Structure 1
Amino acid sequence: MPDPARAVLLGPLLKSVSRSFYITMRVLPAGMRDPIGLAYLLARAADTIADTSLIAPGQRMELLLSLRNQVNGAPDEAALTRMAAEVGSQQADSDEKVLLESLGAALTVLSQMSESDREAVRDIVSTLTKGMEFDLHTFPDESSGRIVALREFSELDQYTYMVAGCVGEFWTKMTYAHVPGAFRGNPEVVLSRGIRFGKALQMTNVLRDCGKDLRIGRCYLPSTMLDQFGLSPQDLLLPQTSLAARPLLFELVGKTLDHFREAVEYTLSLPAFAIRLRLACLWPVLIGLETLLLLVSNDEWLDPAKVSKIRRGDVYRIIAFSVPLVASNRLLRLWMERRISGIEGHIRS
């Protein structure tokens, strides 16, 4: 008999807090949906705790680490109550509040999963929360008026692994576990491509959200790269800097496209008959490439009021166009390579 609490968590609640990700979730093979959906909910709750700026960073860190410990099997009812009360009360979005109030039920669902799925969810949530912990340790309080930049590109690369590359790794492991034989090719190569897939999406987010992040003191663009172009993190707040910083943007977009090429190969390594898996991979690739195209075409990319965000109608257009093409490697490759070429054309012009 179906568990009503589990059905609500992984149905209406997941849909309410995941937006476009829920579309991807619905096309996944059945066995993958619950562990991936639950991992998303736990990570989303952790992210809400880490990002609630009205709560002091030290308090956020304490609750974040407590949630990680509970995911890993150390219950703490008092801490769950604090999360719902202290963090939940600060949420303008009622769905986020409900999510925080549902953490006890989510942890119960986790305990009922198979051992392999449970350990995989624990691993991914632990790594993701380390990325959130990195943010809280590295950057100042959002209201401090200060900006801190990462130092080297290697720091940014490691960060993109902790907050997204590990998701590609988790997704790949879930696919191997629940859809045996789904991938063609060397498993180590496939796993590496899965990691780079996640990094591609996170690099896109970093570049798209740069203007907004700067205004809460976070500069993910490495200072050594800024130095090469005669820029400082504070310069990036000035309206005229968007044009001056385009060479830096283009260099980072180039690195992101290298990741996307691996994401394309990852997607096409799935057999043509794996329609659901292909679509679940194809949509984020195409949406990410559309976002990069908007970014390199945006002369005001650092202005948070002019964010390069793909419209909902364009998302639906991508979904509609992709379905009849999904089984054709030739047509999919042509579509994605044209998008990449269009982005590179803007970089070279």
Structure 2
Amino acid sequence: MTESEKRSLLRGILKQVSRSFYLTLWVVPEKVRDQLGLAYLFCRAADTIADTDLIPPTERLKYLHLFREQFQSSRISREAIAEIQNSLVQHQGNPAERALLSHLTDGFRIFENFSRQDQDQIRKLVTTLTQGMEMDLTCFQAEASGMLRALPSERELDQYCYYVAGVVGEFWTRVIMGHFQSLQGWDEARMCKLGGHFGKGLQMTNILKDLAKDLARGRCYLSQNMLDEFKLNPQALKEPGGVVSLRPLLASLIRVTVYHLEGGWQYILAIPRREIRLRLACLWPHLFAIRTLERIYHADDLLNPQATVKITRREVYFTMILTTLLVFSNRMLTRYYEHLRRDLITRIVGE
């Protein structure tokens, strides 16, 4: 595969599948761009397999396991990839996801050209992350039974967030440490832990933002014991006016999310100031998440599956421009972050 074809695959499909991550990848230093981009595509492919609603959960689980086996084996089976494609591509209504699965073979060709170290990191990432998709398919049987259920406890919620996002923070850490001399002084264990918190914070933001859409699919990632504590149940969240009853629990969950994002902030400040692109690639999703949390808390239509809670394009561009100007200064960045964080917490406490 030529360099031009590789770029077409990674950037073309990435732009279709996720504009937000494509934006982040654009600023990532070139020497790790392909590794991070392809890893993201593999993770999205696993997610697409798990979310193919037109086939039963048992079949999806079968193909998810088949996909995972390619990362657990020393040899990639072209026959297995073809089986996944032949069985699932036809069921994809989203053109981007159809293109993603159609190009899996090309993705594995790129993967085979990476260094052994980078391959090993991607293998570990996908093997762990697919355990989160497996939780989705085994814990939530609403599509088959018509029942809506929640995760049992905070322990399962935290485990799920680790599987699908915390491990991404660890992966990101190990990949960039392997390619940047300026990061050789990092304590790998500490930075992986902070990276894990960073990933969990981003995932918790997504869970809260997509709550209504997940409920419509029979999935409630809010734990049952937390719902019980606030005298709620998953079904009640789908009723008119449910958002008012949800707000006290929402405030508690936002505090948990901010706790994880605090780890993410320590992670960002540990990146050497001269590594501008690495800093920006972490700053943008972090600050977008903080801004989104405030939108989530105040959204009257949070539980409407037809509504989308997100920050404005103006806020996105403002954040990108401001952080580009402040990227060299830990003091100025922290002052801005503390302003956003304090404003978020104060608004929640004040109600």
- TM-score, structure 1 normalization: 0.95
SS of structure 2 residue aligned to 1:254:
helix
Q: CA deviation at 1:30?
A: 1.8
Match of 1:258 in 2: 259
Match of 2:305 in 1: 304
Q: CA deviation at 1:185?
A: 5.4
Q: CA deviation at 1:71?
A: 2.9
SS of structure 2 residue aligned to 1:304:
coil
Q: CA deviation at 1:317?
A: 2.4
Distance in 2 (CA, whole Å) between partners of 1:220 and 1:15 is 28
Q: Which deviations, in whole Å up to 9, do the C-alpha atoms of 1:42-79 show, x marking residues without a partner? A: 11111111001111111111111111112333433343
Q: Contact (CA 8 Å) 2:182, 2:272: kept in 1 or not? A: no
Q: CA deviation at 1:110?
A: 1.1
Q: CA deviation at 1:191?
A: 1.6
Q: Contact (CA 8 Å) 1:152, 1:223: kept in 2 or not? A: yes
Q: Contact (CA 8 Å) 2:280, 2:327: kept in 1 or not? A: yes
Distance in 1 (CA, whole Å) between partners of 2:76 and 2:120 is 16
The aligned amino acid for 2:85 is: A
Distance in 2 (CA, whole Å) between partners of 1:292 and 1:183 is 34
The aligned amino acid for 1:39 is: A
Match of 1:166 in 2: 167
- TM-score, structure 2 normalization: 0.95
The aligned amino acid for 1:41 is: L
Q: CA deviation at 1:313?
A: 3.5
SS of structure 1 residue aligned to 2:271:
coil
Distance in 2 (CA, whole Å) between partners of 1:114 and 1:76 is 19
- Structure 1 stretch displaced more, 132-141 or 273-282: 132-141
Distance in 1 (CA, whole Å) between partners of 2:3 and 2:188 is 35
Distance in 1 (CA, whole Å) between partners of 2:52 and 2:96 is 15
SS of structure 2 residue aligned to 1:181:
helix
- Structure 1 stretch displaced more, 13-22 or 277-286: 13-22
Distance in 2 (CA, whole Å) between partners of 1:141 and 1:106 is 33
Q: Contact (CA 8 Å) 2:205, 2:289: kept in 1 or not? A: yes
Match of 2:88 in 1: 87
Equivalent residues in 2 for 1:40-79, closer than 5 Å: 40-73=40-73, 74-79=75-80
Q: CA deviation at 1:345?
A: 1.2
Distance in 2 (CA, whole Å) between partners of 1:110 and 1:80 is 14
Distance in 2 (CA, whole Å) between partners of 1:42 and 1:22 is 14
Q: Which runs of 5+ in 1 are unaligned?
A: none
The aligned amino acid for 1:66 is: L
SS of structure 1 residue aligned to 2:202:
helix
The aligned amino acid for 2:344 is: I
Match of 1:155 in 2: 156
Q: Which deviations, in whole Å up to 9, do the C-alpha atoms of 1:255-274 show, x marking residues without a partner? A: 11111111111101112111
The aligned amino acid for 1:272 is: R
Match of 2:11 in 1: 11
The aligned amino acid for 1:46 is: A
Q: CA deviation at 1:101?
A: 1.1
SS of structure 1 residue aligned to 2:53:
coil
Q: CA deviation at 1:306?
A: 3.5
Distance in 2 (CA, whole Å) between partners of 1:215 and 1:143 is 13
SS of structure 2 residue aligned to 1:301:
coil
Match of 1:274 in 2: 275
Structure 1 residues 271 and 75 mapped into 2: Cα distance closer, same or farther (>3 Å)? closer
Match of 1:324 in 2: 325
Distance in 1 (CA, whole Å) between partners of 2:200 and 2:166 is 5
Identity, % of aligned pairs? 41
Q: Contact (CA 8 Å) 2:142, 2:149: kept in 1 or not? A: no
Q: Contact (CA 8 Å) 1:183, 1:270: kept in 2 or not? A: no
Distance in 1 (CA, whole Å) between partners of 2:144 and 2:180 is 47
SS of structure 2 residue aligned to 1:151:
coil
The aligned amino acid for 2:176 is: T
SS of structure 2 residue aligned to 1:92:
coil
Matched, 1:22 2:22: yes
The aligned amino acid for 2:340 is: R
Q: CA deviation at 1:143?
A: 5.5
The aligned amino acid for 1:117 is: D
Q: Contact (CA 8 Å) 1:72, 1:122: kept in 2 or not? A: yes
Q: Which runs of 5+ in 2 are unaligned?
A: none
Distance in 1 (CA, whole Å) between partners of 2:184 and 2:280 is 14
Distance in 2 (CA, whole Å) between partners of 1:191 and 1:77 is 33
Q: Contact (CA 8 Å) 1:286, 1:318: kept in 2 or not? A: yes
Q: Which deviations, in whole Å up to 9, do the C-alpha atoms of 1:181-224 show, x marking residues without a partner? A: 33765332222111000000000011111111111111111110
The aligned amino acid for 2:347 is: H
- Report the number of matched residues: 349
Match of 2:136 in 1: 135
Q: Which deviations, in whole Å up to 9, do the C-alpha atoms of 1:278-331 show, x marking residues without a partner? A: 000000111101110101122332222343222334222221222111111111
Distance in 2 (CA, whole Å) between partners of 1:128 and 1:57 is 18
